[in-house]
Amino acid sequence: MELLAQQKVHDEARQGEAFSPHWQQQAAGKKLFYIESYGCAMNFADSEVVASILQNEGYAATTLPNDADLILINTCSIREKAEQTVRKRLTEFRSIKKSRPGLMVGVLGCMAERLKATFIEEEKLVDIVVGPDAYRSLPALIDEAEGGQKAVNVLLSREETYADISPIRLNSNGVTAFVSIMRGCNNMCSFCVVPFTRGRERSRPAASIVQECEALYNEGYREVTLLGQNVDSYHWVDESSDITVTFARLLEMVATISPLLRVRFSTSHPKDITDEVLLTMAAYENICNYIHLPVQSGSSRMLQMMNRTYSREWYIAKVNRIREIIPGCGLSTDMIAGFCTETEEDHQQSLSLMEYCQYDLAYMYFYSERPGTLAARRFADDVPLETKKRRLQEMVALYRGHSLASMQKDVGKTFKVLVEGNSKKDENELHGRTDHNKVVVFPKKHFKKGDYVMVKVNSCTAGTLLGEAI
């Protein structure tokens, strides 16, 4: 679930509108595919793997679903709202399909894995259903669908990492990129569907990760985010040398590619992040001082019911250790309001933990029961919806105050900002991020995308620092 909070493409954002011009130029005379991605950063990274597979089959991308021969939607099952959004889109695509009999529609990702053939047999919304570990079979499934068969492959794997596939950067800004370092999850959090939709944890070979990051740097990228459901449990053994690569060692390997390549990662589990990782972050200026450390609840009782395997006190001690080793480290989290049996006292403990940690960024949701999870089987979803929403709003209000205070503390300071492109509101301004993951907007002048710029912050809003280059 934690990868949901990697970016706010998390919450039912979709992709399909920003393919590179190179892709558009290659489209002439080829079959076209259109892809939308919902949910976590891993889904967006998976769509880039799918794009690479389709390119090798002679497909080219289009930004217009009406022009496509193949429409794919990469889905998220983390919350009911995400699934409802996907169903609505599939209904819209079915309308396109009625006017174009040769058009094929496919579902990828977590909903495909969770609902399997339901889309095809019961709802007749799609022609192809492909789970997260079966993307290599997509060309064969397309052939089956073209032959009039309904094509399904949702088999999970204990080995698949797609390590040998070079992703196609579909909506890239040319500066930042996601790099998947592992797949699956072994943490059986009772609220979470990920272990059932993405399978067991397995790490990608370290050499292939470093090679991909080096290639990105050589292509002009200046920031990579290493992705995994739980990056701190990354573990790779090089059988030829019997050398074990931990996540801390992998961070170092990527950081030493170049001091000009920034390194981020997501997501960390409080039980697994180590001093070794924190010390490695402190040792390299280009490893960003920002950690996403989901807590989910401030109540030890709730954490036990969630099977998070740590207590409130453990989490606080970990936050203290982060701030001891990396003073000023940016910190973000996930919070769930209204989990099963949550009392007002439990809720107040969540608020008090937020008060203690003063998060720079927080992703907050009210509990949405997911079929098949441990919580759905063991506990009653007994907190009224009105109570969930009220508690969520109290969390959001508290966080907004913390966020504004965090931004205000940076006014008057100077930061090294990696320029990611023009400001959305003014083409005469640029936007980028500090290594603490805060967005900065400043006048363009002679600077360009991919530059590092020292920016003095003069003012701020609740979500953006405003400054000038010095």
List, in order, residues 6 or more apart from 166 with CB less than 8 Å away.
52, 212, 215
Please count the other Cβ atoms lying within 10 Å of the Cβ belonging to residue 161.
19
User: Does the model's pTM come out above 0.95?
Assistant: no
In the chain, the amino acid numbered 79 is R
User: Residue 29 has what pLDDT?
Assistant: 60
- What is the average per-residue pLDDT within 354-360? 97
- What is the average per-residue pLDDT within 319-332? 98
Distance (Å, rounded) from C-alpha 174 to C-alpha 171?
9
Distance (Å, rounded) from C-alpha 186 to C-alpha 19?
34
Q: How confident is the model at residue 122 (pLDDT cuts 50, 70, 90)?
A: low
User: Residue 81 has what pLDDT?
Assistant: 81
User: Residue 136 has what pLDDT?
Assistant: 96
User: Residue 9 has what pLDDT?
Assistant: 34
DSSP class of residue 282?
Answer: H
List, in order, residues 6 or more apart from 422 with CB less than 8 Å away.
429, 430, 431, 444
Q: Is the Cβ–Cβ distance between 287 and 327 less than 8 Å?
A: no
Burial class (CB in 10 A: 0-12, 13-18, 19+), 21: exposed
**More confident call, 388 vs 96:** 388
DSSP class of residue 357?
Answer: H
Please count the other Cβ atoms lying within 10 Å of the Cβ belonging to residue 112.
28
Q: What is the pLDDT of residues 214-237, one digit of tens each?
A: 999 999 999 999 999 999 999 999
DSSP class of residue 296?
Answer: B
- What is the average per-residue pLDDT within 407-411? 97
Q: Would the pLDDT of 12 be above 80? A: no
